[in-house]
Amino acid sequence: MSDVVLSDAERDALISMVVRGMARGEASTEQQSLAEASLILVKGPMMMPLPAGTTLVGDILRLAPDAPERERIMSTFHRFLPINRQLRDLCTAWQCRPDGSVNDHSDIGYDAQIRDRLDDIDDSVAPLLKRFTEDLPRLAPYRERLTVALTNLDEGDNAWFASPLIDSYHTVWMHVHQELLLTIGMSRADDEALEEQLVSGSHG
Amino acid sequence: MSVRPIDDVGLVPFGLGFERGLDTRSLCTRGVQMETLAGLGLPVAIGLTVPVPNVPGMVTVDRAAAAINLLETISGRAVGSTTPEGGIVLLRLSASAPVAAVGLPPDLVAIGVAGARIPTGLPPKMLADLSAAWWKTASFIAEYSLGVPAEDIASLGLDHDDPADRIEPLLALCEATGITPFPVDLSGQLAAGAAAMLARWNSPRAARARRTQQLPVDLPLALHIETVTVTDHHEAGHGHAVSRDLKSGLFAPNGAFRHGVRSTGERQMLGHPLSSLPGGVAMLTGVLAELEGRLGSVALVDFEFGPEGLVLVGLEEYRRTSARTATSLAVDLATRGITDERTAVRAIRPHHVLELLHPQPRLTGQEVLLVTGLAASPGAAVGRIVLTSEAAVEVAETGESVILVAAETSPGDLPGMMASAGILTVTGGSASHAAVVARGMGLPAICGASGLRIDRAAGTITCGEHVLPAGSIISIDGDTGSVYIGAVAIVRPEPSASLATVLSWGDDARRLGVRANADTGVDAALAMDNGAEGIGLCRTEHMFLGERLPLIRRVILSHNPESEEAALAALALAQREDFRELLLAVGNRPVTIRLLDAPMHEFLPATPQEAEDEDQARMVEHLHEENPMMGVRGVRLALLHEGLYPAQVEGLFNAWIDVSTQHGISPELEVMVPLVSIPEELLMMVRLMRRVNQEVASRTGIVVKFKIGTMVETPRAALMADQLAQWAEFLSFGTNDLTQLTYGFSRDDVERRMLGTYLEKGLLTVSPFSELDDPGVAALMRIAVDKARSVKPDIKLGICGEHGGDPVSIALCEDLGLDYVSCSPSRVPIARLAAAHAVLDRDPS
């Protein structure tokens, strides 16, 4: 464990920064403190976590190996990964048509089909988020953030599907995923291997 | 829907709908697909359609029983019975609407499981298939027909991994919380399935889907019921086949299949390749060729196969395909005689040409390929290797283009990705974080370049023998997945064979000539390669930028006749070289040389301090203009410096003699005087040029043929085109200036400051500099065309502004009766096609 002492607000700001990967805008008081502690880097209007900050958040969020909720969380996480794959495939379909050309969103039938499949994914992930939240209450706001992205998408702004620059459905999903990985202490590489194993195992 | 059932239509077996006079309004899309397939004599699934008016009745057990009876009669098999091969005969229920619609209820694939419980003693794979299918069917009926809360059903899914284990708890849940217990008999299950589908179609989710597709809120449904046999894995399966390779566009049936029951109405894209289909693909190949001809589109069929052979269960027309596929299909259909060449030309639109000719790396064969990966996000980029997000941000800040190379990316890499021109990752596929984010940002990306090793500590990337330190330049091609060492030139590709064919067919159809604007031999050669019929505008002022600037500067700033004469002699010599190169590329085609036309300040030192001497400095101050664009430009400069245009045409005539005598080619010279607003300005220039022509003839003994014409770029010139036509053999509309002067717009200022406001307030719908203004600018052109032809009916009329490459403006030029358009060399293919459309789109035959 690091010996850095953070206030609750600073800790939350650091977790948010590591989960999101970056922040933009004017640095808040907490973010300024984090920068002074060399946990994040402020570069003009952009802020990003430094390795020490990422390590610290890993230490803060990681469940103890013998935590009683670990098994339940892992079991639900195993259900999450195949849906995670489906979402990424769906984002690909949203961005690229089957022939590889860029989806210019001029075909409302095509887009509607992708949007409808997003409902299937949202229906599938809803009970998982509920189960995660029973053990990890801090994940509760993600449900609302996903719903906000869907609402904005349905109001006609396509960016809310997968734009990395706003809290689109894909962005929020990535944040959930990142926070889960930090919680269970799994690397991206292990996560990808596990996902592949779970997905290929389910092929008939 | 309050539609009365049509009893005499009743239930319609696949293949009998058209002969009963039914169409898509009652059979809906899937019913029509099955009619189409059956009508071609192709083997289709055994099934029937419940037409739109009869659908509400299907929620009753009696009507459901009638449908089952009919189906059992047609198939000769009882639902629920076991086939000789050990399969179980069940029902698939699906729905479709009168138009293609998203948000339809999912297929219910396994109606008819006796007692609603999976039989015991099934082989393991068959058990797994049937359990999964029945769970989907039964849970859907429970939620939408019996009103069991979705959350409770989802919990069963989480608590029991194996679908087979969820069935008993589901039945208990229905018993406890459902409107009625789960139906255990066949008719009851079919009726409940129909009711569930209608309930889903009326749900907020489906309503939203209809809204986003701008479909009627009360769009009706037809239901389709087919027999389906759930059997052991390796005896049966399902798949899809599409007629063309969607990347290359060529006819090459491909697709995928899986073993087992088709457990969802959605097409499964993954599976075994079609080429290994049991029984081969000969039949499917024939089916797809036939369907392409019938449908005039790329065709896709869904099929099922089993011990009794292969049947078609679905059909889709791919109307929207890539440009490559669209051109290939259009050419194939015309070549097969199914359509004709004009239809093929009509089918290809300017956006297809743009897509096919979008810039790509120009490979010379000398490139060193570093590694290949998955083409994850289209486009190409050249940049320096950076290995961390932080480095990407830092190097990009210096103005360098960077390519982020990483094992994989995570949200922490977002700042670096934003700073990069392209992304290259070692792991991950086309749906990886890096790919999704790169496409979201419009960045080219290659993922899964597994041959690459990154050593962050050493700051290198390695692939085989190649070790590149961070900072080295690489080029990535997100369309092919190739990574090259060093910088590869990014250029527009040559037209594909199919596109070249369509363009040549278009050439046969069009009336308008297509020329190009080109100032150098290189540009002219590119234009000719792209099919230009000549040069419509050579801007000679472009020959005097850079090293040549002092030549023209000395002419303008000369302070005595001797120095002006010396400067003009040097200018004529330089022009001779420039024109020789251009004329060689043009060959025997027409070439329009526009004499010097640039605002004078572009040739002068920006300040008196930059002048060569004090005399020049004084002249610079003296020549200062308040509004250079409307000051001493074009012919006006030639009036002040009477030796200027003669020197230019002397250079031109000498160059023509050079290429004619040395290379045996005779370009058709057209000399164009710019910015005329007083017809006598043109007359004076005509006299000057004829004099020079005679002088060259007496000196060389060769008479150089040439035509003289003028730009029409001021409203006054347009209004006096009849007078201009007395002396001009051609007129060319300079629509950039004509638009500026008609609106009173200074282009740069208005596009920067006003255009957004004009568009936002709806005062303009498009920039008049991109699309020719029909009611205003084109009205002036109409007047000019009429007046010019009233004096000289065969006068040649063209356009050389940027509008010459815009399809909408080209159609307008066709209306105006111009003879040719001239555009940038890269737009020539688009202009050729647009000129053909301008004729064909008006002629329905």
Q: Which of A18, A92, A128 sits opposite B435 (nearest CB)?
A: A92
pLDDT at B269: 73
Contact B588, B667 (CB under 8 A): yes
Q: Which chain A residues have a beta carbon less than 8 Å from that of B450? A: none
Count of domains observed in chain B: 4
Look at B151 and A127 and tell me if their CB atoms are within 8 Å. Answer: yes
Per-residue pLDDT tens digits for B272-285:
999 999 888 999 99
Residues 446-485 of B with CB under 8 A from A: 479
Together in a domain, B86 and B222:
yes
Q: Is the dihedral of CA B202, B206, B212, B218 positive or negative?
A: negative
Is residue B255 a contact partner of residue B239, using CB atoms and an 8 Å limit?
yes
Mean pLDDT lowest for which of A30-39, A143-152, B552-561?
B552-561
List the one residue out of B635, B668, B462, B651 whose CA is nearest residue B572: B651
CA dist., res. B303 & res. B44, Å (int): 9
**Active-site hit among B160, B272, B433, B601:** B433
**In the prediction, which pLDDT does B3 show?**
39
Above 60 in pLDDT, residue A204?
no
What average pLDDT score do residues A79-83 get? 95
Restricting to B residues 198-227, those with a Cβ less than 8 Å away from any Cβ of A are 205, 208-209, 212-214
**Cα–Cα–Cα angle for B47, B48, B49, rounded to 5 degrees:** 140
Q: How confident is the model at residue B233 (pLDDT cuts 50, 70, 90)?
A: low
- Strand ranges across the sheet with A40-43: A23-24, A46-49, A40-43
**Under DSSP, is residue B239 helix (H, G, I), strand (E, B) or coil?**
strand
pLDDT at res. B625:
85
For residues B317 and B680, which has the higher predicted lDDT (pLDDT)? Answer: B680
| DSSP-derived secondary structure letter, B82 | B
For residue B759, name the pLDDT band (cuts at 50, 70, 90). Answer: confident
Which residues make beta-bridge pairs with B423? B404, B445
Residues 140 through 169 of chain A touching chain B, CB cutoff 8 Å: 154, 162-165
Whether B123 and chain A come into contact, CB under 8 Å, resolves to: no
> Quick one: which H or E segment has residue B12?
strand B12-13
Residue B572 lies in a domain: yes
Q: What dihedral do alpha carbons B378, B383, B389, B390 form, nearest 10°? A: -160
Contact B439 A92 (CB under 8 A): yes
Mean pLDDT of B137-159: 93
Hey, where are the domains in chain A?
8-61, 70-202
Among residues B446, B441, B434, the alpha carbon closest in space to that of B380 is found at B446
On the question of pLDDT at B2 being above 50, the answer is no
**Catalytic residue selected from B800, B813, B823, B837:** B800
- The whole-number pLDDT of residue B327 equals 95
B629 pLDDT tier (thresholds 50, 70, 90): confident
Q: Residues 13-42, chain A: which have Cβ within 8 Å of B?
A: 18-22, 41
Distance of CA B272 to the CA centre of its chain: 31
Long-range CB contacts (within 8 A, 24+) of B316-320: B316/B33, B318/B242, B318/B246, B320/A97, B320/A107, B320/A110
- Residues contacting B813, CB < 8 A, separation 6+: B512, B772, B799, B803, B804, B821, B838
Beta bridge partners of B230: B88
How far is the alpha carbon of A96 from chain B, nearest alpha carbon, in Å? 8
- Out of B233, B248, B271, pick the residue that ends a domain: B233
B622 CB contacts (<8 Å, ≥6 apart)? none
Mean per-residue pLDDT of chain A: 90
Are A115 and B270 within 8 A, CB to CB?
no
Nearest CA in chain A to B393: A43
pLDDT category at B4 given cuts 50, 70, 90 is: very low
Indicate whether B119 pLDDT > 60.
Answer: yes
CB within 8 Å: B390 and A20: no
Domain of residue B667: give its range.
Answer: 511-598+633-739+796-840
B675 Rama sector, left if φ>0, alpha if ψ -120 to 50, beta otherwise: left
Q: For position B482, what pLDDT does the model report?
A: 93
- B485: confidence class by pLDDT, cuts 50, 70, 90: very high
pLDDT given for residue A160 in this prediction: 95
Structure tokens belonging to residue B528: 């000719």
Instruction: Find the closest chain A residue to B478 by CA distance.
Output: A100
Residues 6+ apart with CB under 8 A from B465: none
φ, ψ for residue B275 (rounded to 5)?
-60, -20
In what order do the strands lie in the sheet containing B108-111? B12-13, B47-50, B222-230, B88-96, B108-111
Q: Which two three-digit tokens encode residue B445?
A: 């990306």
| pLDDT at residue A202, as a whole number | 52
Taking one residue from A and the other from B, the number of pairs with CB-CB distance under 8 angstroms is: 137
Residues B220 and B272 placed together within one structural domain of the fold: no
This complex has an ipTM of: 0.81
Least CB–CB distance from B212: residue in A100, A108, A188: A108
Residue the block writes with tokens 């899809």: B240
CB distance B413–A88 less than 8 Å? no
Phi, psi dihedrals of residue B473, rounded to the nearest 5°? -90, 130
Distance from CA of A66 to the nearest CA of B (A): 23
For chain A, say whether B260 makes contact (Cβ under 8 Å): yes
Q: What percent of chain B has pLDDT over 90?
A: 64
Please check whether residues B107 and B97 belong to one and the same domain: yes
Q: Which residues contact B458 (CB under 8 A, 6 or more apart)?
A: none
Give the separation between CA B95 and CA A75, rounded to whole angstroms: 36
Task: For Cα atoms B266, B272, B276, give the angle at the middle one, nearest 5 degrees.
Answer: 130
Residue found by looking up tokens 């002040």 in the block = B640
Average of pLDDT values for B637-664? 95
> Which residues does B299 contact at the CB level (< 8 Å), separation at least 6?
B242, B243, B288, B291, B292, B315, B316, B317, B318
Report yes or no: A138 at the B interface, CB cutoff 8 Å: no
For residue A192, give the nearest of B322, B393, B427 by CB distance. B427
Residue from the list A54, A162, A178 with its beta carbon closest to the beta carbon of B440: A162
Choose the closest CB to A116 out of B102, B415, B436.
Answer: B102
Crossing angle of helices B150-159 and B163-177, rounded to 10°: 150
Which residue is it, tokens 């330049």?
Answer: B473
> Which residue in B has a C-alpha nearest to residue A127's C-alpha?
B154
B578 assigned to some structural domain: yes
Band of residue A1 on the pLDDT scale cut at 50, 70, 90: very low
Q: Among A22, A76, A188, whose Cβ lies nearest the Cβ of B414?
A: A22
CATH number (domain holding residue B365): 3.50.30.10
Q: What pLDDT does residue B253 have?
A: 94
> Which of B324, B350, B376 is the last residue in one of the domains?
B350
Quick one: CATH architecture of A8-61? Orthogonal Bundle (1.10)
- Shared domain check, B403 and B271: no
pTM of whole model > 0.90? Answer: no
CA distance A106 to chain B (A): 10
In sequence order, which residues have a C-beta less than 8 Å from that of residue B121 and are 6 or more positions away? Answer: none
**Residue in A16, A17, A101, A143 to test binding to B, most B beta-carbons within 10 Å:** A101
Cβ <8 Å between B320 and A192: no
Confidence of residue B500 (pLDDT cuts 50, 70, 90): very high
Tell me: do B276 and B379 sit in the same domain. no
CB B675 within 8 A of CB B737: yes
Per-residue pLDDT at B696: 96
- C-alpha dist (Å) from residue B454 to B145, B388, B449, B466: 56, 11, 11, 12
Whether B280 and B302 map to the same domain: the answer is yes
* Interface touch A48/B128, C-beta < 8 Å: no
Q: For residues B51-77, give the mean pLDDT.
A: 93
Residue A3 is predicted with a pLDDT of: 65
Q: What is the rounded average pLDDT of the residues B572-593?
A: 94
Contact assessment for residue B228 and residue B92, using Cβ atoms and an 8 Å cutoff: yes
d(CA B348, CA B840): 12
User: What distance in Å separates residue A18's CA from the closest CA in chain B?
Assistant: 7
Helix (H, G, I), strand (E, B) or coil at B444: coil
Judge whether A40 and A59 are in contact, CB under 8 Å.
no
Cα Rg, chain A, nearest whole Å: 18
- Nearest in space to B134 (alpha carbons), one of B115, B155, B158: B115
Q: Give dist(CA B563, CA B574) in Å, integer.
A: 17
Helices (H) and strands (E) in chain B, counts: 30, 31
Between CA B339 and CA B293 the distance in angstroms is 9
Query: Pick from B240, B357, B398, B358: which is nearest to B305 by CA?
Result: B240
Comparing CB atoms, the residue among B320, B431, B440 nearest residue A89 is B431
Average of per-residue pLDDT across A27-43: 93
B820 vs B566 pLDDT, higher one: B820
Of B100-114, B166-180, B548-562, the range with the lowest mean pLDDT is B548-562
* Residues in chain A within 8 Å Cβ distance of B414: 21-22, 164
CB B267 within 8 A of CB B340: no
Query: Cα(B198)–Cα(B788) distance, rounded to whole angstroms?
Result: 69
Partner A contacted by B99 (CB < 8 A): no
Q: In what order do the strands lie in the sheet with B368-372?
A: B368-372, B482-485, B473-477, B380-386, B402-406, B422-425, B445-447, B374-377
Residue A169 predicted with pLDDT over 90 = yes
Residue B52: closest CA among B241, B220, B304, B297: B220
pLDDT tops 70 at residue B9: no
Pairing assessment for the beta strands B482-485 and B473-477 based on DSSP bridges: antiparallel
Put simply, whether A72 touches B (Cβ < 8 Å) is no
Res. B319 pLDDT band, cuts 50 70 90: confident
B540 lies in the same domain as B665: yes
* Predicted pLDDT of residue B542: 79
Structure-block tokens of residue B388:
């961390």
Flag if B320 and A115 touch (Cβ within 8 Å).
Answer: no
Query: Coil, helix or strand for B636?
Result: helix
Confidence of residue B844 (pLDDT cuts 50, 70, 90): low
Residue range B318-323: mean pLDDT, rounded: 78
- Whether B330 has a pLDDT exceeding 60, the answer reads yes
**A74 and chain B in contact, CB less than 8 A:** no
Of B150, B208, B322, the CB nearest to A99: B322
Judging contacts by C-beta atoms under 8 Å, the chain A residues touching residue B355 are 101
* Whether B97 and B203 share a structural domain: yes
Taking residues A57-67, report their average pLDDT: 93
Query: Cβ A88–B433 below 8 Å, yes or no?
Result: yes
Known catalytic residue at B433: yes
Q: In chain B, what residues touch A98 (CB-CB under 8 Å)?
A: 246
Element (H or E) spanning B823, and its range?
strand B820-823
HSE (side-chain half, CA atoms, 13 Å) at B257: 28
The answer to whether B36 contacts chain A (CB < 8 Å) is no
pLDDT-derived band at B826 (thresholds 50, 70, 90) equals confident
pLDDT at B252 over 50: yes
Q: In terms of domains, do B591 and B680 share one?
A: yes
**Same domain for B329 and B251:** yes
CA–CA distance, B772 with B735 (Å, rounded to integer): 8
Task: Please state, in angstroms and rounded to a whole number, the distance separating the CA atoms of residues B491 and B825.
Answer: 13
Nearest Cβ partner for B154 among A54, A112, A127: A127
List chain A residues with CB under 8 Å of B431: 85, 88-89, 91-92
Alpha-carbon distance A79 to B160, whole Å?
12
B84 and B103 inside one domain: yes
Q: Degrees (nearest 5) of the Cα angle B672, B651, B513?
A: 35
| Mean pLDDT over the full length of chain B | 90
B354 at A interface, C-beta within 8 A: no
Would you call A123 an interface residue with chain B, using a CB distance cutoff of 8 Å? yes
| pLDDT of B474 strictly over 60 | yes
Residues B442 and B524 in one domain: no
Strand boundaries in B634-778, DSSP class E: 668-673, 706-712, 730-733
